[in-house]
Amino acid sequence: MFRSGSTHVRTTLERILPGYRSATTSINAGAIGDDGYPSINIFAAQLMFNNPRQIFHQHTCGTSGNVAVLKASKINPVVMMRNMLDSMVSLQELLSEGKPQGIGIYYPHQIASMSTEAQLWWVVRNLPNFYFTFYLSWKYAEIDKLTIWYDEFYKDQVRGIRDILEFTGPKGTISDRNISMASEVITSEDRFKFGRPGRGKEILSKEMIWAIEEQASSWPERDELIRELMWRGY
């Protein structure tokens, strides 16, 4: 999921798993507009999924084609989710910096020059469907998966990393101390800044939150989407 803290999780795993490297099967070009970024590119998957010691990190929904490729390659995913209001506020802050962002959604090239309110309204009007699709596609995906939530993982990163290791099954023994040390290291490449849960509710106006709820109302799972994605952790 966008701005879910997954980059920090990936780099923590890289630090504690010698010889592992990060990888992706999403192919995109350019800073504005990505070419099927949420999809697993089948040709990249054929080349890369059989190689050992890789940590695949990408914003991938659990839609039918993606799940079919994962199943064919016998890969069971770890899915990280976050309260979408907090995630959207974090994403707006990132876009406001004017740096190229491969978020998988085409966004205005003028976004950095827009007012903060205009940026927030753009996010509110254009991104909720990604969060709804991400959540529901993985909920219904018929594949063995581990779902972790931002608000739970960052309360106890050692336990969170242990859950991932137990699910994915790398061999060897890693101490809690090593996991703790690896998770506390922050570099400029991590792009990680712990976002306090609840910021989304505080920063987004009531009108913006109502607009997101209105979009959720088009889904049969409306109440669940609002409960799990909008008010979770509050």
Look up the pTM and report it.
0.90
Among 106, 97, 56, which residue's Cα sits nearest to residue 191?
97
Look at residue 87 and tell me whether its pLDDT is greater than 80: yes
In angstroms, rounded to a whole number, what is the distance separating the alpha carbons of residues 153 and 174?
A: 18
| Higher per-residue pLDDT: 31 or 91 | 91
pLDDT band, residue 17 (cuts 50/70/90): very high
The CATH code for residues 6-230 is 3.40.50.300
Ordered by start, the domain boundaries in the chain are 6-230
Q: What pLDDT is attached to residue 142?
A: 97
Phi then psi dihedrals of residue 78, to 5 deg? -100, 125
- Rounded distance, CA 225 to CA 209, Å? 13
SS3 string, 39-104, reads: CCCHHHHHHHCCCCCEEECCCCCCCHHHHHHHHHCCCCCEEEECCHHHHHHHHHHHHHCCCCCCCC
Q: Give pLDDT tens digits for 166-180.
A: 999 877 788 999 999
* Least confident segment among 11-20, 85-94, 190-199: 190-199
Give tens-digit pLDDT for 98-153. 887 777 788 898 999 999 999 999 999 999 999 999 999 999 999 999 999 999 99
| CA atoms 31, 106, 5, 195: torsion sign | positive
Percent of the chain clearing pLDDT 90 (strictly above): 70
Contacts 24+ apart (CB under 8 A), 29-35: 31/100, 31/101, 31/102, 32/100, 32/106, 32/107, 32/109, 33/106, 34/102, 34/103, 34/104, 34/105, 34/106
pLDDT confidence bin for 12, thresholds 50/70/90:
very high
